[in-house]
A = this chain, B = another copy of it.
Protein backbone atom coordinates (compact mmCIF):
# COMPACT_ATOMS: atom_id res chain seq x y z
CA UNK A 1 0.00 0.00 0.00
CA UNK A 2 1.35 3.36 -0.98
CA UNK A 3 2.46 5.51 1.93
CA UNK A 4 0.30 8.42 0.80
CA UNK A 5 -2.86 6.30 0.74
CA UNK A 6 -4.38 7.91 3.79
CA UNK A 7 -3.98 11.35 2.28
CA UNK A 8 -6.05 10.66 -0.78
CA UNK A 9 -9.52 9.57 -1.77
CA UNK A 10 -8.28 6.68 -3.89
CA UNK A 11 -5.70 4.01 -3.21
CA UNK A 12 -5.10 0.48 -4.38
CA UNK A 13 -7.01 -0.93 -1.41
CA UNK A 14 -10.20 1.06 -1.84
CA UNK A 15 -10.74 1.37 -5.60
CA UNK A 16 -12.94 -1.02 -7.55
CA UNK A 17 -11.59 -4.47 -6.52
CA UNK A 18 -12.95 -6.06 -9.69
CA UNK A 19 -10.76 -3.81 -11.83
CA UNK A 20 -7.78 -4.62 -9.61
CA UNK A 21 -8.48 -8.36 -10.01
CA UNK A 22 -8.67 -8.21 -13.80
CA UNK A 23 -5.67 -9.56 -15.69
CA UNK A 24 -4.69 -8.55 -19.20
CA UNK A 25 -1.26 -9.88 -20.06
CA UNK A 26 -1.27 -8.94 -23.75
CA UNK A 27 -0.32 -5.41 -22.74
CA UNK A 28 1.15 -6.29 -19.36
CA UNK A 29 4.63 -6.22 -17.82
CA UNK A 30 6.35 -7.96 -20.74
CA UNK A 31 4.84 -5.54 -23.24
CA UNK A 32 5.80 -2.59 -21.05
CA UNK A 33 9.40 -3.80 -20.84
CA UNK A 34 9.50 -4.29 -24.62
CA UNK A 35 8.40 -0.67 -25.07
CA UNK A 36 11.19 0.43 -22.74
CA UNK A 37 13.68 -1.44 -24.90
CA UNK A 38 12.22 0.13 -28.02
CA UNK A 39 12.60 3.61 -26.50
CA UNK A 40 16.21 2.82 -25.48
CA UNK A 41 17.09 1.70 -29.02
CA UNK A 42 15.42 4.78 -30.49
CA UNK A 43 17.72 6.93 -28.32
CA UNK A 44 20.77 5.18 -29.81
CA UNK A 45 21.47 2.94 -26.81
CA UNK A 46 23.81 0.12 -27.91
CA UNK A 47 23.92 -1.79 -24.62
CA UNK A 48 21.22 -4.26 -25.61
CA UNK A 49 22.05 -7.57 -27.32
CA UNK A 50 19.67 -6.76 -30.21
CA UNK A 51 19.01 -3.77 -32.43
CA UNK A 52 15.26 -4.11 -32.92
CA UNK A 53 12.24 -4.99 -30.83
CA UNK A 54 9.82 -7.42 -32.50
CA UNK A 55 6.33 -6.99 -31.05
CA UNK A 56 5.03 -10.50 -31.59
CA UNK A 57 2.79 -10.08 -28.55
CA UNK A 58 -0.10 -8.37 -30.23
CA UNK A 59 -2.03 -8.75 -33.47
CA UNK A 60 -1.22 -5.27 -34.75
CA UNK A 61 -0.43 -5.81 -38.45
CA UNK A 62 0.25 -2.21 -39.48
CA UNK A 63 2.69 -1.68 -36.62
CA UNK A 64 4.80 -4.27 -38.40
CA UNK A 65 4.95 -4.97 -42.10
CA UNK A 66 1.38 -4.84 -43.33
CA UNK A 67 0.49 -2.01 -45.74
CA UNK A 68 -3.08 -0.76 -45.66
CA UNK A 69 -5.23 -1.66 -48.65
CA UNK A 70 -5.14 1.20 -51.17
CA UNK A 71 -8.85 1.27 -52.03
CA UNK A 72 -9.85 1.59 -48.38
CA UNK A 73 -7.44 4.38 -47.62
CA UNK A 74 -8.11 6.37 -50.79
CA UNK A 75 -11.80 6.39 -49.93
CA UNK A 76 -11.03 7.44 -46.34
CA UNK A 77 -8.89 10.33 -47.55
CA UNK A 78 -11.91 11.65 -49.48
CA UNK A 79 -14.24 11.17 -46.52
CA UNK A 80 -11.89 13.18 -44.35
CA UNK A 81 -11.59 16.01 -46.85
CA UNK A 82 -14.64 15.97 -49.15
CA UNK A 83 -13.62 19.13 -51.09
CA UNK A 84 -11.19 16.79 -52.92
CA UNK A 85 -14.27 15.38 -54.66
CA UNK A 86 -14.59 18.69 -56.48
CA UNK A 87 -11.22 17.98 -58.13
CA UNK A 88 -12.10 14.68 -59.70
CA UNK A 89 -9.79 15.23 -62.67
CA UNK A 90 -6.79 15.71 -60.38
CA UNK A 91 -7.77 12.65 -58.35
CA UNK A 92 -8.16 10.44 -61.41
CA UNK A 93 -5.42 11.75 -63.65
CA UNK A 94 -2.67 12.80 -61.28
CA UNK A 95 -3.18 10.96 -58.01
CA UNK A 96 -4.10 7.51 -59.30
CA UNK A 97 -7.55 7.34 -57.69
CA UNK A 98 -10.05 5.23 -59.65
CA UNK A 99 -13.64 6.08 -60.45
CA UNK A 100 -14.98 3.51 -57.97
CA UNK A 101 -13.01 5.18 -55.16
CA UNK A 102 -14.73 8.47 -55.89
CA UNK A 103 -18.09 6.77 -56.20
CA UNK A 104 -17.76 4.90 -52.92
CA UNK A 105 -16.71 8.05 -51.09
CA UNK A 106 -19.70 9.95 -52.45
CA UNK A 107 -22.04 7.15 -51.43
CA UNK A 108 -20.58 6.88 -47.92
CA UNK A 109 -20.87 10.64 -47.45
CA UNK A 110 -24.52 10.48 -48.45
CA UNK A 111 -24.97 7.75 -45.87
CA UNK A 112 -23.14 9.30 -42.91
CA UNK A 113 -23.35 13.00 -43.70
CA UNK A 114 -20.03 14.10 -42.22
CA UNK A 115 -17.60 11.60 -40.69
CA UNK A 116 -17.26 14.23 -37.95
CA UNK A 117 -20.91 13.86 -36.89
CA UNK A 118 -22.23 11.29 -34.44
CA UNK A 119 -24.10 8.57 -36.29
CA UNK A 120 -27.17 6.79 -34.97
CA UNK A 121 -26.22 4.95 -31.76
CA UNK A 122 -26.03 1.47 -33.31
CA UNK A 123 -24.34 2.75 -36.47
CA UNK A 124 -25.22 4.49 -39.73
CA UNK A 125 -28.29 2.77 -41.25
CA UNK A 126 -26.80 2.53 -44.77
CA UNK A 127 -23.69 0.80 -43.44
CA UNK A 128 -25.75 -1.66 -41.41
CA UNK A 129 -27.64 -2.53 -44.62
CA UNK A 130 -24.34 -3.19 -46.33
CA UNK A 131 -23.26 -5.49 -43.49
CA UNK A 132 -26.57 -7.35 -43.72
CA UNK A 133 -26.03 -7.94 -47.44
CA UNK A 134 -22.52 -9.25 -46.76
CA UNK A 135 -23.80 -11.72 -44.18
CA UNK A 136 -26.43 -12.89 -46.64
CA UNK A 137 -23.82 -13.44 -49.36
CA UNK A 138 -21.50 -15.22 -46.92
CA UNK A 139 -24.09 -17.53 -45.35
CA UNK A 140 -26.83 -17.83 -47.95
CA UNK A 141 -29.42 -16.65 -45.44
CA UNK A 142 -30.84 -13.15 -45.03
CA UNK A 143 -29.76 -10.77 -42.25
CA UNK A 144 -31.71 -7.84 -40.84
CA UNK A 145 -29.94 -4.47 -40.43
CA UNK A 146 -31.89 -3.81 -37.23
CA UNK A 147 -30.03 -6.72 -35.61
CA UNK A 148 -26.62 -5.30 -36.52
CA UNK A 149 -24.73 -3.02 -34.13
CA UNK A 150 -21.60 -1.24 -35.30
CA UNK A 151 -18.96 -1.09 -32.57
CA UNK A 152 -15.51 0.33 -31.82
CA UNK A 153 -13.81 -2.97 -32.64
CA UNK A 154 -14.95 -6.38 -31.44
CA UNK A 155 -13.68 -5.61 -27.90
CA UNK A 156 -16.30 -2.95 -27.51
CA UNK A 157 -18.97 -5.36 -28.78
CA UNK A 158 -17.89 -7.99 -26.25
CA UNK A 159 -18.01 -5.36 -23.53
CA UNK A 160 -21.59 -4.44 -24.48
CA UNK A 161 -22.81 -8.04 -24.62
CA UNK A 162 -21.20 -9.04 -21.33
CA UNK A 163 -22.65 -5.93 -19.66
CA UNK A 164 -26.12 -7.13 -20.63
CA UNK A 165 -25.58 -10.81 -19.80
CA UNK A 166 -23.86 -10.42 -16.42
CA UNK A 167 -26.71 -9.85 -14.00
CA UNK A 168 -25.11 -10.84 -10.68
CA UNK A 169 -21.98 -12.37 -9.16
CA UNK A 170 -23.58 -15.76 -9.84
CA UNK A 171 -23.82 -15.23 -13.59
CA UNK A 172 -21.41 -17.50 -15.41
CA UNK A 173 -20.08 -17.46 -18.94
CA UNK A 174 -18.34 -20.46 -20.50
CA UNK A 175 -14.98 -19.31 -21.83
CA UNK A 176 -12.49 -21.47 -23.75
CA UNK A 177 -9.10 -21.99 -22.17
CA UNK A 178 -6.74 -20.87 -23.55
CA UNK A 179 -8.59 -17.66 -24.53
CA UNK A 180 -7.98 -14.09 -25.51
CA UNK A 181 -7.90 -12.45 -22.05
CA UNK A 182 -10.47 -9.80 -22.98
CA UNK A 183 -13.09 -12.32 -21.84
CA UNK A 184 -11.69 -13.11 -18.41
CA UNK A 185 -10.74 -9.47 -17.84
CA UNK A 186 -14.23 -8.23 -18.72
CA UNK A 187 -15.88 -10.87 -16.55
CA UNK A 188 -13.62 -9.83 -13.66
CA UNK A 189 -14.53 -6.18 -14.08
CA UNK A 190 -18.23 -7.12 -14.21
CA UNK A 191 -17.85 -9.32 -11.12
CA UNK A 192 -19.28 -12.35 -12.92
CA UNK A 193 -17.94 -15.90 -13.13
CA UNK A 194 -15.72 -17.23 -15.84
CA UNK A 195 -16.62 -20.90 -16.37
CA UNK A 196 -13.52 -22.26 -18.10
CA UNK A 197 -13.72 -25.14 -20.57
CA UNK A 198 -10.52 -26.57 -21.95
CA UNK A 199 -9.81 -26.82 -25.64
CA UNK A 200 -8.34 -30.08 -26.83
CA UNK A 201 -4.68 -29.56 -27.65
CA UNK A 202 -4.42 -33.13 -28.95
CA UNK A 203 -7.01 -32.30 -31.62
CA UNK A 204 -5.45 -29.07 -32.85
CA UNK A 205 -7.10 -27.06 -30.07
CA UNK A 206 -10.63 -27.85 -31.28
CA UNK A 207 -13.68 -27.65 -29.02
CA UNK A 208 -14.32 -30.77 -26.98
CA UNK A 209 -18.04 -31.14 -26.32
CA UNK A 210 -17.44 -33.39 -23.34
CA UNK A 211 -15.18 -30.79 -21.78
CA UNK A 212 -17.84 -28.12 -22.35
CA UNK A 213 -20.56 -30.28 -20.83
CA UNK A 214 -18.37 -31.15 -17.87
CA UNK A 215 -17.52 -27.52 -17.17
CA UNK A 216 -21.16 -26.53 -17.50
CA UNK A 217 -22.43 -29.23 -15.17
CA UNK A 218 -19.81 -28.51 -12.56
CA UNK A 219 -20.61 -24.79 -12.61
CA UNK A 220 -24.36 -25.38 -12.39
CA UNK A 221 -23.87 -27.79 -9.51
CA UNK A 222 -21.93 -25.07 -7.71
CA UNK A 223 -24.83 -22.67 -8.08
CA UNK A 224 -23.57 -20.70 -11.06
CA UNK A 225 -26.25 -19.37 -13.39
CA UNK A 226 -24.52 -20.13 -16.70
CA UNK A 227 -25.93 -17.85 -19.38
CA UNK A 228 -23.61 -17.92 -22.36
CA UNK A 229 -20.78 -19.69 -24.10
CA UNK A 230 -17.92 -17.89 -25.83
CA UNK A 231 -16.32 -19.45 -28.89
CA UNK A 232 -13.35 -17.88 -30.63
CA UNK A 233 -13.18 -19.22 -34.19
CA UNK A 234 -10.59 -19.18 -35.66
CA UNK A 235 -8.99 -19.37 -32.28
CA UNK A 236 -7.00 -16.83 -30.33
CA UNK A 237 -4.41 -17.69 -29.07
CA UNK A 238 -4.61 -21.18 -30.55
CA UNK A 239 -5.15 -20.54 -34.24
CA UNK A 240 -7.61 -23.46 -34.43
CA UNK A 241 -10.25 -23.36 -37.15
CA UNK A 242 -13.44 -25.27 -36.27
CA UNK A 243 -15.16 -27.79 -38.51
CA UNK A 244 -18.88 -27.40 -39.31
CA UNK A 245 -19.56 -30.35 -37.02
CA UNK A 246 -17.79 -28.68 -34.10
CA UNK A 247 -19.85 -25.53 -34.65
CA UNK A 248 -23.02 -27.60 -34.85
CA UNK A 249 -22.24 -29.42 -31.65
CA UNK A 250 -21.78 -26.16 -29.77
CA UNK A 251 -25.06 -24.74 -31.09
CA UNK A 252 -26.88 -27.94 -30.25
CA UNK A 253 -25.56 -27.82 -26.71
CA UNK A 254 -26.46 -24.13 -26.38
CA UNK A 255 -30.00 -24.84 -27.63
CA UNK A 256 -30.39 -27.64 -25.12
CA UNK A 257 -29.17 -25.60 -22.16
CA UNK A 258 -30.56 -22.25 -23.35
CA UNK A 259 -27.21 -20.48 -23.53
CA UNK A 260 -26.38 -17.42 -25.57
CA UNK A 261 -23.67 -18.25 -28.10
CA UNK A 262 -21.06 -15.51 -28.38
CA UNK A 263 -19.13 -16.25 -31.55
CA UNK A 264 -15.95 -14.20 -31.81
CA UNK A 265 -15.25 -14.51 -35.53
CA UNK A 266 -12.77 -11.70 -36.02
CA UNK A 267 -10.30 -14.03 -37.75
CA UNK A 268 -12.86 -15.38 -40.22
CA UNK A 269 -10.70 -14.56 -43.24
CA UNK A 270 -7.45 -15.74 -41.59
CA UNK A 271 -7.98 -19.40 -42.45
CA UNK A 272 -5.14 -21.46 -43.93
CA UNK A 273 -6.60 -24.94 -43.63
CA UNK A 274 -10.15 -25.96 -44.45
CA UNK A 275 -12.91 -23.39 -44.56
CA UNK A 276 -14.48 -20.91 -42.19
CA UNK A 277 -17.95 -21.94 -40.95
CA UNK A 278 -19.87 -19.04 -39.50
CA UNK A 279 -22.05 -19.77 -36.49
CA UNK A 280 -24.84 -17.79 -38.15
CA UNK A 281 -24.75 -19.89 -41.32
CA UNK A 282 -24.60 -23.18 -39.44
CA UNK A 283 -27.40 -22.08 -37.10
CA UNK A 284 -29.67 -21.19 -40.03
CA UNK A 285 -28.98 -24.58 -41.63
CA UNK A 286 -29.91 -26.28 -38.38
CA UNK A 287 -33.04 -24.14 -38.07
CA UNK A 288 -34.01 -25.08 -41.61
CA UNK A 289 -33.66 -28.76 -40.82
CA UNK A 290 -35.24 -28.68 -37.36
CA UNK A 291 -37.09 -25.38 -36.87
CA UNK A 292 -38.78 -26.23 -33.57
CA UNK A 293 -35.62 -27.40 -31.93
CA UNK A 294 -33.43 -24.44 -32.79
CA UNK A 295 -35.76 -21.51 -33.35
CA UNK A 296 -34.95 -19.78 -30.07
CA UNK A 297 -31.18 -20.03 -30.11
CA UNK A 298 -29.61 -16.70 -29.16
CA UNK A 299 -26.48 -15.99 -31.12
CA UNK A 300 -24.24 -12.91 -31.12
CA UNK A 301 -21.53 -13.01 -33.80
CA UNK A 302 -18.70 -10.48 -33.73
CA UNK A 303 -16.48 -9.24 -36.51
CA UNK A 304 -13.80 -6.55 -36.76
CA UNK A 305 -11.74 -4.46 -39.17
CA UNK A 306 -8.65 -5.04 -37.03
CA UNK A 307 -7.77 -8.49 -38.28
CA UNK A 308 -7.97 -10.38 -41.57
CA UNK A 309 -6.28 -8.71 -44.52
CA UNK A 310 -7.77 -5.38 -43.45
CA UNK A 311 -5.67 -5.00 -40.30
CA UNK A 312 -7.03 -1.54 -39.45
CA UNK A 313 -6.76 -1.89 -35.64
CA UNK A 314 -6.13 1.80 -35.01
CA UNK A 315 -9.43 2.74 -36.63
CA UNK A 316 -11.46 0.81 -34.05
CA UNK A 317 -14.28 -0.64 -36.11
CA UNK A 318 -16.41 -3.75 -35.95
CA UNK A 319 -19.93 -5.03 -35.62
CA UNK A 320 -22.00 -7.66 -33.93
CA UNK A 321 -25.13 -9.35 -35.23
CA UNK A 322 -27.83 -10.70 -32.95
CA UNK A 323 -30.08 -13.64 -33.82
CA UNK A 324 -32.98 -14.81 -31.72
CA UNK A 325 -32.65 -12.16 -29.01
CA UNK A 326 -35.72 -10.97 -27.14
CA UNK A 327 -36.74 -7.53 -28.53
CA UNK A 328 -36.90 -6.11 -25.00
CA UNK A 329 -33.32 -7.20 -24.45
CA UNK A 330 -32.31 -5.61 -27.74
CA UNK A 331 -33.86 -2.33 -26.54
CA UNK A 332 -31.56 -2.44 -23.54
CA UNK A 333 -28.58 -3.12 -25.78
CA UNK A 334 -29.55 -0.10 -27.86
CA UNK A 335 -29.76 2.06 -24.72
CA UNK A 336 -26.42 0.79 -23.45
CA UNK A 337 -24.58 1.57 -26.68
CA UNK A 338 -26.29 4.97 -26.90
CA UNK A 339 -24.65 6.01 -23.61
CA UNK A 340 -21.32 6.01 -25.41
CA UNK A 341 -23.01 7.74 -28.37
CA UNK A 342 -21.67 5.83 -31.38
CA UNK A 343 -18.73 3.91 -32.79
CA UNK A 344 -16.07 6.00 -34.61
CA UNK A 345 -17.66 6.92 -37.94
CA UNK A 346 -14.49 6.47 -39.99
CA UNK A 347 -14.24 2.97 -38.49
CA UNK A 348 -17.87 2.37 -39.52
CA UNK A 349 -16.96 3.36 -43.07
CA UNK A 350 -14.09 0.86 -43.01
CA UNK A 351 -16.51 -1.84 -41.87
CA UNK A 352 -18.59 -1.01 -44.95
CA UNK A 353 -15.61 -1.38 -47.25
CA UNK A 354 -14.41 -4.56 -45.57
CA UNK A 355 -17.78 -6.23 -46.18
CA UNK A 356 -18.22 -4.69 -49.61
CA UNK A 357 -14.80 -4.49 -51.28
CA UNK A 358 -14.22 -3.75 -54.99
CA UNK A 359 -15.74 -6.44 -57.18
CA UNK A 360 -14.28 -8.10 -60.25
CA UNK A 361 -14.61 -5.76 -63.20
CA UNK A 362 -14.47 -2.56 -61.12
CA UNK A 363 -11.46 -0.28 -61.65
CA UNK A 364 -9.88 -0.85 -58.23
CA UNK A 365 -10.38 -4.61 -58.22
CA UNK A 366 -7.08 -5.74 -59.64
CA UNK A 367 -4.93 -3.80 -57.19
CA UNK A 368 -7.24 -4.73 -54.32
CA UNK A 369 -6.96 -8.43 -55.11
CA UNK A 370 -3.22 -8.24 -55.52
CA UNK A 371 -2.80 -6.52 -52.16
CA UNK A 372 -5.26 -8.80 -50.40
CA UNK A 373 -3.70 -11.98 -51.75
CA UNK A 374 -0.22 -10.65 -51.04
CA UNK A 375 -1.04 -10.10 -47.38
CA UNK A 376 -2.66 -13.52 -47.13
CA UNK A 377 0.24 -15.40 -48.65
CA UNK A 378 2.78 -13.38 -46.63
CA UNK A 379 1.02 -14.40 -43.42
CA UNK A 380 0.88 -18.00 -44.51
CA UNK A 381 4.55 -18.03 -45.46
CA UNK A 382 5.69 -16.60 -42.16
CA UNK A 383 3.35 -18.90 -40.23
CA UNK A 384 4.91 -21.86 -41.99
CA UNK A 385 8.47 -20.64 -41.40
CA UNK A 386 7.72 -20.21 -37.72
CA UNK A 387 6.04 -23.59 -37.53
CA UNK A 388 9.01 -25.26 -39.20
CA UNK A 389 11.37 -23.60 -36.74
CA UNK A 390 9.27 -24.72 -33.77
CA UNK A 391 9.30 -28.30 -35.04
CA UNK A 392 13.09 -28.29 -34.82
CA UNK A 393 13.27 -26.85 -31.32
CA UNK A 394 13.96 -29.12 -28.38
CA UNK A 395 10.93 -29.57 -26.12
CA UNK A 396 8.67 -27.50 -28.35
CA UNK A 397 5.54 -28.87 -30.01
CA UNK A 398 3.25 -26.94 -32.25
CA UNK A 399 0.29 -27.65 -34.53
CA UNK A 400 0.55 -26.65 -38.12
CA UNK A 401 -0.99 -23.23 -38.80
CA UNK A 402 -4.77 -23.38 -39.32
CA UNK A 403 -5.94 -19.82 -38.89
CA UNK A 404 -5.89 -16.46 -37.06
CA UNK A 405 -2.56 -14.64 -36.62
CA UNK A 406 -0.96 -16.79 -33.96
CA UNK A 407 0.94 -19.92 -33.15
CA UNK A 408 0.69 -21.30 -29.63
CA UNK A 409 3.40 -23.89 -29.11
CA UNK A 410 3.76 -26.08 -26.03
CA UNK A 411 7.14 -25.84 -24.38
CA UNK A 412 8.65 -28.34 -22.00
CA UNK A 413 11.22 -26.64 -19.80
CA UNK A 414 13.93 -28.38 -17.75
CA UNK A 415 13.32 -28.63 -13.97
CA UNK A 416 16.18 -26.21 -13.32
CA UNK A 417 14.42 -23.55 -15.37
CA UNK A 418 11.22 -24.12 -13.44
CA UNK A 419 13.23 -23.78 -10.24
CA UNK A 420 14.83 -20.54 -11.44
CA UNK A 421 11.40 -19.16 -12.36
CA UNK A 422 10.07 -19.91 -8.91
CA UNK A 423 12.97 -17.97 -7.38
CA UNK A 424 11.97 -14.94 -9.42
CA UNK A 425 8.35 -15.34 -8.42
CA UNK A 426 7.27 -15.94 -11.99
CA UNK A 427 5.50 -18.77 -13.73
CA UNK A 428 7.97 -20.80 -15.84
CA UNK A 429 6.50 -19.64 -19.15
CA UNK A 430 6.68 -16.01 -18.07
CA UNK A 431 10.26 -16.56 -16.99
CA UNK A 432 10.99 -18.00 -20.43
CA UNK A 433 9.24 -15.12 -22.22
CA UNK A 434 11.17 -12.50 -20.22
CA UNK A 435 14.43 -14.28 -20.97
CA UNK A 436 13.50 -14.40 -24.66
CA UNK A 437 12.72 -10.68 -24.70
CA UNK A 438 15.89 -9.73 -22.82
CA UNK A 439 18.06 -11.81 -25.13
CA UNK A 440 16.47 -11.21 -28.52
CA UNK A 441 14.07 -8.27 -28.37
CA UNK A 442 11.25 -10.61 -29.45
CA UNK A 443 8.17 -10.01 -27.31
CA UNK A 444 5.70 -12.91 -27.04
CA UNK A 445 2.98 -13.57 -24.44
CA UNK A 446 3.34 -16.40 -21.92
CA UNK A 447 0.64 -19.08 -22.06
CA UNK A 448 -0.39 -18.25 -18.51
CA UNK A 449 -1.76 -14.97 -19.89
CA UNK A 450 -4.41 -16.97 -21.78
CA UNK A 451 -4.91 -19.84 -19.39
CA UNK A 452 -3.57 -23.38 -19.91
CA UNK A 453 -3.94 -26.79 -18.31
CA UNK A 454 -1.95 -27.25 -15.15
CA UNK A 455 1.63 -28.40 -15.70
CA UNK A 456 1.60 -27.34 -19.34
CA UNK A 457 3.49 -24.32 -20.66
CA UNK A 458 3.01 -22.35 -23.86
CA UNK A 459 3.58 -19.02 -25.45
CA UNK A 460 1.69 -17.11 -28.10
CA UNK A 461 3.47 -15.41 -30.95
CA UNK A 462 2.01 -13.59 -33.93
CA UNK A 463 3.46 -14.26 -37.35
CA UNK A 464 3.10 -10.67 -38.48
CA UNK A 465 6.66 -9.40 -38.19
CA UNK A 466 8.39 -9.02 -41.56
CA UNK A 467 11.04 -11.44 -42.68
CA UNK A 468 12.09 -14.59 -40.87
CA UNK A 469 15.40 -13.44 -39.37
CA UNK A 470 13.70 -12.98 -35.99
CA UNK A 471 12.58 -16.60 -36.09
CA UNK A 472 16.27 -17.53 -36.17
CA UNK A 473 16.83 -15.36 -33.09
CA UNK A 474 14.19 -17.38 -31.22
CA UNK A 475 15.74 -20.69 -32.26
CA UNK A 476 19.18 -19.59 -31.12
CA UNK A 477 17.90 -18.26 -27.82
CA UNK A 478 15.96 -21.44 -27.18
CA UNK A 479 18.87 -23.76 -27.59
CA UNK A 480 21.02 -21.56 -25.32
CA UNK A 481 18.24 -21.49 -22.73
CA UNK A 482 17.88 -25.27 -22.77
CA UNK A 483 21.64 -25.70 -22.40
CA UNK A 484 21.78 -23.25 -19.52
CA UNK A 485 19.10 -25.06 -17.50
CA UNK A 486 19.68 -28.61 -18.59
- Per the bound structure, the CA–CA distance linking A70 and B164 in Å amounts to 41
Question: Nearest CB to that of A327 among chain B residues?
Answer: B2
Residue-wise, chain A 111-133 has the 8 Å CB interface mask toward B (1 for contact) of 01111111111000000000000
Is A165 engaged at the interface, CB distance under 8 Å to the other chain?
yes
Is A394 engaged at the interface, CB distance under 8 Å to the other chain?
no
Known: A78-B77, A313-B118, A338-B24. A8 touches B324 (CB 8 A): yes
Question: Nearest CB to that of A82 among chain B residues?
Answer: B73
Contact, CB under 8 Å: A68 / B315:
no
Contact of A117 among B10, B28, B62, B87 (CB under 8 A): B62
- Per the bound structure, the CA–CA distance linking A325 and B12 in Å amounts to 11
Residues on B with C-beta less than 8 A from A99 are: none
CB distance from A400 to the nearest CB of B (A): 28
CB distance from A14 to the nearest CB of B (A): 6
Residues on B with C-beta less than 8 A from A22 are: 335-336, 339
Could you tell me which residues of chain A, from 351 to 401, have a CB within 8 Å of some CB in chain B?
none
Contact, CB under 8 Å: A62 / B8:
no
Question: Nearest CB to that of A337 among chain B residues?
Answer: B27
Contact, CB under 8 Å: A63 / B113:
yes
Contact of A326 among B10, B81, B186, B329 (CB under 8 A): B10
Residues on B with C-beta less than 8 A from A79 are: 80
Residues on B with C-beta less than 8 A from A1 are: 328
Residues on B with C-beta less than 8 A from A460 are: none
Is A230 engaged at the interface, CB distance under 8 Å to the other chain?
no
Contact, CB under 8 Å: B339 / A15:
no
Known: A186-B339, A314-B119. A326 touches B17 (CB 8 A): no
Interface centre among A9, A15, A22 (most CB of B within 10 A): A9
Residues on B with C-beta less than 8 A from A338 are: 24, 26-27
Is A90 engaged at the interface, CB distance under 8 Å to the other chain?
yes
Known: A335-B22, A344-B347. A80 touches B84 (CB 8 A): no
Known: A63-B114, A90-B94. A185 touches B339 (CB 8 A): yes
Residues on B with C-beta less than 8 A from A306 are: 118
Contact, CB under 8 Å: B11 / A164:
no
In the assembly, how many copies of this chain are there? 2
Residues on B with C-beta less than 8 A from A343 are: 316
Contact, CB under 8 Å: A314 / B114:
yes
Residue-wise, chain A 71-112 has the 8 Å CB interface mask toward B (1 for contact) of 001101111110110010010001100000000000000001
Question: Nearest CB to that of A96 among chain B residues?
Answer: B83
Residues on B with C-beta less than 8 A from A74 are: 81
Interface centre among A95, A121, A259 (most CB of B within 10 A): A95
CB distance from A105 to the nearest CB of B (A): 11
Contact, CB under 8 Å: B326 / A63:
no
Contact, CB under 8 Å: A116 / B344:
no
- Per the bound structure, the CA–CA distance linking A343 and B16 in Å amounts to 22
CB distance from A189 to the nearest CB of B (A): 7
Interface centre among A63, A80, A94 (most CB of B within 10 A): A80
State which of A149-157, A243-251, A413-421 sits at the interface with chain B: A149-157
CB distance from A363 to the nearest CB of B (A): 16
- Per the bound structure, the CA–CA distance linking A259 and B118 in Å amounts to 33
Contact, CB under 8 Å: A340 / B155:
yes
Is A33 engaged at the interface, CB distance under 8 Å to the other chain?
no
Contact of A16 among B84, B121, B164, B315 (CB under 8 A): B164
Known: A8-B258, A326-B11. A344 touches B346 (CB 8 A): yes
Residues on B with C-beta less than 8 A from A335 are: 19, 22, 24, 27-28
Contact, CB under 8 Å: A152 / B152:
yes
Interface centre among A60, A114, A119 (most CB of B within 10 A): A114
Is A177 engaged at the interface, CB distance under 8 Å to the other chain?
no
- Per the bound structure, the CA–CA distance linking A39 and B282 in Å amounts to 34
Residues on B with C-beta less than 8 A from A90 are: 90, 94-95
CB distance from A183 to the nearest CB of B (A): 10
CB distance from A82 to the nearest CB of B (A): 8
Known: A116-B312, A166-B16. A156 touches B340 (CB 8 A): yes
- Per the bound structure, the CA–CA distance linking A431 and B237 in Å amounts to 53
Question: Nearest CB to that of A340 among chain B residues?
Answer: B155
13 contacts between A and B (CB under 8 A): A8-B325, A10-B165, A10-B260, A10-B325, A11-B328, A12-B328, A15-B164, A19-B336, A20-B332, A22-B335, A62-B113, A70-B83, A153-B340
What are the 3 tightest A-B residue pairs by CB atom distance, in nearest-first order? A314-B345, A77-B81, A76-B80
